[in-house]
Amino acid sequence: MEKRAMTTIWITGDQTTMRSRALTGADPATSVVLMIESLARSKRVPYHKRKLVLIYAGMRHFADDLRAAGWTVDYYTEVPDFAEPLAAHVRKYAPVAMRMMQQSEYGVTERYTALAAEHGLAVDVFPHANFLSEANDLDVLASKPTSRVTMETFYRRMRKKTGLLLDDGEPVGGQWNLDHDNREKPKKGMRFPAPPRFAPDAHTQDVIAMVERHFGDHPGIIGDFALPVSRADALIALDDFIENRLDGFGPSQDAMLAGERTMNHSLLSHAINTGLLDPMECCERAELAYRAGAARLNSVEGFIRQLIGWREYIWRVYWKFMPEYKERNALGADLPLPAFFWNGGTSMFCLEKSIAHVRETGYAHHILRLMVLGNFGLIAGIAPLEMHDWFWAMFVDGYDWVMAPNVIGMTLHADGGYVGTKPYAASANYINGMSDYCKPCRYDPKLAVGENACPFNALYWDFLGRNEARFAKNQRMAMVMRNWSAKDDTTRAALRDRAATLRKRLRAGDAL
Ligand code: FAD
Ligand code: SF4
């Protein structure tokens, strides 16, 4: 029988989707899918153990799905790196070409194609299938190549492009953005439907043992792992969100409760980022729920905006400005990341609880990331790259593309205000109003100076004072800067003293 020329399709850990054009344009009869569990790749960053379970279990389940769909899969488990398995694969199949989807991290596609070139393989690289936008969707909106494009402008373009929540080309309900309806304060005794749990099957149990064996020194705990790691389970998780939490998603979006880790959030980011779920199918399901009268418009619009607005915008900003974006530090922040981010040892209740969530689950919802963990980093002046690396390591949905614009841009304002026109800085007043954290806390949210004063307060005012010249030019900061200016010299000096003491203690490695 004539031996057919084979093509290799190399699939990596965050590409577990049948939508990949590396697959859809290929013929299973003349292709072999290559999948490699490189231990070195997972040691580059001290990833949370749960994240590693998600990636490896996701790969093994996806390999099963591929085989069931008629593909040949050449799978290498627990190997030191990519080089030897790739060589073994080439010896086994003698491929004449390689196909690959674009890697999500800057510079990695080039590294992998260079590796393939060592075996004489030219690689056809296909656009990433986990995103709906193209580079042009951002670029076309900029008057000059360097001009800023806001998320809101980009989002409206994406609504028109996808046709989501449109009636005759106009936004359903008459408004593009219903965020103003989504800022309800948490109410006492609020309860939320628990997300579904997926008991680990044999594959996942093997992976859990493997992660403990090779990555025992990584942060986080695997605990009673119950996240979806297959397409089938991810679809169940999506159904459950649409049926049980989507309707309440909007109103409670900004609320924080110490006893409620997930609230009405979807918990789908990790499955969307690895390709188990298609962002478009998530949006379409949400729109259908609205049209069927099963979910209110402000919730559905809010959810769709997170996906086709924020998520796509973040992806585009990353590719537009990398690699220099990660070096940005517009506010000159240089405080080392406090050790309590890793070990949880702080008396600040909101931070202690949030860090505990992350250590135990690899997850915290958006407002905890932005307004507690990130806000502290912003006003204390933590070095952007150190903060970025912590988030990247600790979150199950963390990838470089999503961390850089979210942490360096949105959270720390270190990109000079591209992602957000105004910094998301807040004092204890905000946290106290939007959560139940302050009551049991050792610190007093109403005080700004003195040993019992909440550190967020003096750090917040001092942050405004430190950056007075810059923020004076920012219209959106006018009101808070007026509040700072209205303080008398004695008050300002006291706030600055308290903040200097706190920052000195943080710099010395003391916990607060
Ligand atoms: P939901 O609240 O249910 O939101 C729905 C979906 O919208 C998410 O699943 C996600 O896919 C998307 N989304 C919403 N906001 C963003 C955003 N700003 N950027 C990208 N996608 C968004 N998201 C990640 O996917 N990975 C990260 O590592 C990550 N790190 C973050 C770090 C910081 C400091 C901040 C402020 C935000 C970060 N985000 C990240 C964005 C957002 O917080 C998470 O996507 C969200 O909390 C994930 O939980 P969920 O699936 O329950 O989201
Ligand atoms: Fe956080 Fe301050 Fe409230 Fe304590 S008092 S929970 S540190 S905001």
One pLDDT digit (tens) per residue for the chain, 512 residues: 445 679 999 999 999 999 999 999 899 999 999 999 999 999 989 999 999 999 999 999 999 999 999 999 999 999 999 999 999 999 999 999 999 999 999 999 999 999 999 999 999 999 999 999 999 999 999 988 778 999 999 999 999 999 999 999 999 999 999 988 888 888 877 889 999 999 999 999 999 999 999 999 999 999 999 999 999 999 999 999 999 999 999 988 889 998 888 899 999 999 999 999 999 999 999 999 999 999 999 999 999 999 999 999 999 999 999 999 999 999 999 999 999 999 999 999 999 999 999 999 999 999 999 999 999 999 999 999 999 999 999 999 999 999 999 999 999 999 999 999 999 999 999 999 999 999 999 999 999 999 999 999 999 999 999 999 999 889 999 999 999 999 999 999 999 999 999 999 999 998 89
Is the CB of 348 within 6 Å of ligand 2?
A: yes
* Contact (CB, 8 A) for 402 and 322: no
Confidence (pLDDT) at 143: 87
Is the CB of 454 within 6 Å of ligand 2?
A: yes
Is the CB of 252 within 6 Å of ligand 1?
A: no
Give the predicted TM-score (pTM) of the model: 0.95
Is the CB of 314 within 6 Å of ligand 1?
A: yes
Q: How many Å apart are CA 180 and CA 182, to the nearest integer?
A: 5
Q: How far is the CA of 12 from the centre of ligand 1 (A)?
A: 22
Is the CB of 300 within 6 Å of ligand 1?
A: no
> To test the ligand 2 pocket, which listed residue (375, 427, 431) has its Cβ within 8 A of the most ligand atoms?
431
Phi, psi of 171 (to 5 degrees): -65, 135
Is the CB of 267 within 6 Å of ligand 1?
A: yes
Q: Which helix (H) or strand (E) holds 387?
A: helix 384-394
Q: How far is the CA of 44 from the centre of ligand 1 (A)?
A: 23
Q: Is 112 helix (H, G, I), strand (E, B) or coil?
A: helix
Q: Which helix (H) or strand (E) holds 73?
A: strand 72-79
Exposed/middle/buried for residue 422 (C-beta within 10 Å: 0-12, 13-18, 19+):
middle
Is the CB of 254 within 6 Å of ligand 1?
A: no
Q: How many Å apart are CA 408 and CA 398, to the nearest integer?
A: 14
Q: How many Å apart are CA 150 and CA 320, to the nearest integer?
A: 14
Confidence (pLDDT) at 96: 94
Confidence (pLDDT) at 473: 87
Q: How far is the CA of 32 from the centre of ligand 1 (A)?
A: 34
Confidence (pLDDT) at 4: 67
Number of residues that make up the chain:
512
* Contact (CB, 8 A) for 61 and 227: no
Is the CB of 86 within 6 Å of ligand 1?
A: no
Exposed/middle/buried for residue 473 (C-beta within 10 Å: 0-12, 13-18, 19+):
exposed
Mapped to the 3 state alphabet, what secondary structure does 245-290 carry? CHHHHCCCCCCEECCECCCCCCCCHHHHHHCCCCHHHHHHHHHHHH
Residue tagged 């040993």 (tokens): 451
Ligand 2 atom nearest to CA at 348: 7
Is the CB of 282 within 6 Å of ligand 1?
A: no
> To test the ligand 1 pocket, which listed residue (265, 406, 407) has its Cβ within 8 A of the most ligand atoms?
406
DSSP 324: G
Is the CB of 406 within 6 Å of ligand 1?
A: yes
DSSP 81: -
Is the CB of 431 within 6 Å of ligand 2?
A: yes
Ligand 1 atom nearest to CA at 410: 36
Ligand 2 atom nearest to CA at 349: 6
Is the CB of 456 within 6 Å of ligand 2?
A: yes
CA end-to-end distance (rounded Å), the chain: 73
Q: How far is the CA of 398 from the centre of ligand 1 (A)?
A: 9
Task: Give the number of whichever ligand sits closest to the CA of residue 427.
Answer: 2
